[in-house]
Structure formats: structure tokens, C-alpha cells
């Protein structure tokens, strides 16, 4: 397995100097930095080349995450919104190709967070399947796999469980579309986290980790041995990227609903130390080879 962390653990906005975090996570013992792809379509060639070189020089794999805006909703019934979304994704895939990035995950089948006053699940599901098929075809030439993140009921209505994620991916029927699970969301929705992982089986393309309190793995009550055993059962050998959120403030704190300082005033150095210990813990608990 390759182990990573999402840059927003340290940040309060959905953009950052990713080169800074590439160097940081390399020092802390990670294999992967997951970045938010929201801003990269607007990168200059200089910015792209500098980030690619920084990742190469530090031996860090870049993966992407995205919570689509309303205007980037590939599951929209509005053809204009869908066309705008597809155009934006194509620009983003161009940059991802230049950055040697081969994974993008999130609520790519819809937008995030959803306005629940307008939902119609059967109809939205149908449009989402159609949109993701188009998105998969656009991503294919770049060797990009797309992760359909299964998210809790308070943030989306389309994919809330591993069972729904598997059903959706099978219906899309594109080999570069995978199920993406997240321990935080599974803790809310699944009867058994281990069984949810086993149900995803070989369709599982990416795993997000974090405690039920959104802290780094090892600082909560998630059943890590159960999770590790399930990953062993399905012989999962992909990416495991922790996605902790512990700081209030900014757009990140607002969107993730961090209404108290979960870090308890931790300095950047203390956050670094927690991340370093956590990736060591995660390798111990989850690596089965």
C-alpha cells in the first residue's frame, strides 16, 4: 500500500502552495500528497512544472480530491451546467496529465454539499450515471481513475453506503471508475465497516482514513484492526490517504463543519508530529503484506 495525507489537514482554504506540503509530507514519511484540484486548471506552465519537479524530487505521488461546485455537477439535469462541468474537468485533466496524477476522487457524480430541498434520488441517480460515463471517457486518455466517494447522508443523498457505491459503479460500467470509501463516513452509515470494505472488493480504488472525530488515525475509536483485516481479505494494495480536519476557520472549517478547535491549539510542529505518528500507526495497522 501507499500511504498519504490530504493537504487541508494544515490549511483553512481549498487552495495552498502544494510544493510546501510535498516537501513536508516527504519529511514526515508519507508516500502521497492528496491535493485539491479546484485551482489547478488555472495554473501557469511554470506553476505546473515547478509542482511536478517538486513531487518528483521528493518521491511523492500526487493524487487529487474534489468536492464539485454546483456549476461542476456532472449529474445535473441542466445540459448547460453539465457542459460547463465537463469543460472544466477536461481542463483539469489536462493539468493532471502534466502533473503525472492518475487519481481523482470525491462526489464527482454530483456536487458538494448537496441542497437537500431539491433532491429526487432516482432521477438524480440516473443523471449522475450518465454524467459519470462522459467524465470517465474524458479521463481515460490521461490514465486517470475516478473515485466515486461514498459520503454520509448529511452531505449527499446519492451514495451513502458501500452497497450503493458498488451498484453505481457497476451501472456506470467504465473500467476507470472505482468505489472510494472513507472510514469517517462509513462510521456513520455502515452496520459493519469490515463488511462494507469486503463488499466493495476489487472495485475499491481508494481509501480515505480518519477517526470518527475527524482526527488523524490513532486518536479516536475507529476499529483499525477490523479495517486492516478486511483490506487483507480483499487483498487491497492501493492508496490509503488520511483526511483529518482539526482546525476551525476559513472555507475548509465552514464546509467541513468544524465548530471547535479539535486540535486544541496545536502548533504546526505539533500537527506534523501527530501526522508522523499516525502514518506509522496506519502502516502498522493496515499493511497486510
C-alpha–C-alpha distance, residues 85 and 17, integer Å:
25
Helix, strand, or coil here: 200?
Answer: helix
Helix, strand, or coil here: 161?
Answer: coil
* Cis preceding-peptide flag for 113 (omega within 30 of 0): yes
The yes-or-no answer on residue 243 being catalytic is yes
C-alpha–C-alpha distance, residues 108 and 69, integer Å:
10
Task: Report which DSSP code applies to 266.
Answer: -
Please check whether residue 99 is in contact with residue 40, taking contact to mean a CB–CB distance below 8 angstroms. yes
C-alpha–C-alpha distance, residues 150 and 147, integer Å:
9
Cell reading at 136: 470517465
Helix, strand, or coil here: 182?
Answer: strand
Q: Long-range contacts: 137-142, Cβ < 8 Å, 24+?
A: 137/174, 138/86, 138/89, 138/90, 138/93, 139/89, 139/93, 139/104, 139/176, 140/174, 140/176, 142/93, 142/94, 142/96, 142/97, 142/102
- Identify any residues that bridge with 204 across adjacent strands, giving them in sequence order: 179
Task: Write down the catalytic residue from 11, 34, 149, 190.
Answer: 149
C-alpha–C-alpha distance, residues 58 and 37, integer Å:
20
Task: Write down the catalytic residue from 11, 34, 190, 243.
Answer: 243
> How many helices (DSSP H) and strands (DSSP E) are in the chain?
10, 8
Which residues have a catalytic role annotated?
A: 149, 243
Amino acid at each position: 500500500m501507499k500511504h498519504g495525507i490530504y493537504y487541508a489537514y494544515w490549511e483553512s482554504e481549498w487552495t495552498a502552495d502544494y510544493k510546501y506540503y510535498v516537501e513536508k509530507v516527504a519529511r514526515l514519511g508519507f508516500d502521497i500528497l492528496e491535493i485539491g484540484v479546484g485551482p489547478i486548471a488555472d495554473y501557469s506552465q511554470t506553476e505546473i512544472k515547478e509542482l511536478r519537479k517538486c513531487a518528483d524530487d521528493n518521491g511523492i505521488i500526487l493524487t487529487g480530491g474534489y468536492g464539485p461546485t454546483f456549476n461542476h455537477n456532472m449529474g445535473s439535469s441542466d445540459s448547460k451546467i453539465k457542459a460547463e462541468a465537463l469543460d472544466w474537468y477536461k481542463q483539469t485533466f489536462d493539468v493532471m496529465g502534466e502533473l503525472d496524477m492518475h487519481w481523482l476522487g470525491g462526489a464527482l457524480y454530483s456536487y458538494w454539499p448537496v441542497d437537500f430541498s431539491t433532491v429526487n434520488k432516482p432521477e438524480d441517480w440516473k443523471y449522475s450515471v450518465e454524467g459519470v460515463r462522459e467524465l470517465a471517457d474524458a479521463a481515460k486518455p490521461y490514465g486517470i481513475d475516478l473515485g466515486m466517494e461514498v459520503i454520509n447522508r448529511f452531505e449527499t443523498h446519492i451514495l451513502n453506503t458501500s452497497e450503493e457505491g458498488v451498484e453505481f459503479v457497476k451501472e456506470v460500467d467504465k473500467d476507470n471508475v472505482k468505489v472510494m470509501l472513507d472510514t469517517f463516513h462509513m462510521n456513520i452509515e455502515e452496520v459493519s465497516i469490515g463488511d462494507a470494505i469486503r463488499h466493495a472488493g476489487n472495485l475499491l480504488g481508494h481509501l480515505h482514513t480518519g477517526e470518527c472525530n475527524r482526527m488523524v488515525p490513532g486518536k479516536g475509536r475507529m476499529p483499525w484492526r477490523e479495517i486492516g483485516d478486511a483490506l487483507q481479505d480483499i487483498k487491497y494494495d492501493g492508496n490509503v490517504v488520511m483526511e483529518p480536519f482539526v482546525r476551525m476557520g476559513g472555507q475548509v472549517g465552514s464546509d467541513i463543519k468544524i465548530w471547535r478547535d479539535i486540535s486544541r491549539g496545536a502548533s504546526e510542529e505539533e500537527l506534523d508530529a501527530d501526522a508522523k505518528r499516525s502514518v506509522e500507526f496506519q502502516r502498522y495497522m493496515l499493511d497486510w503484506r
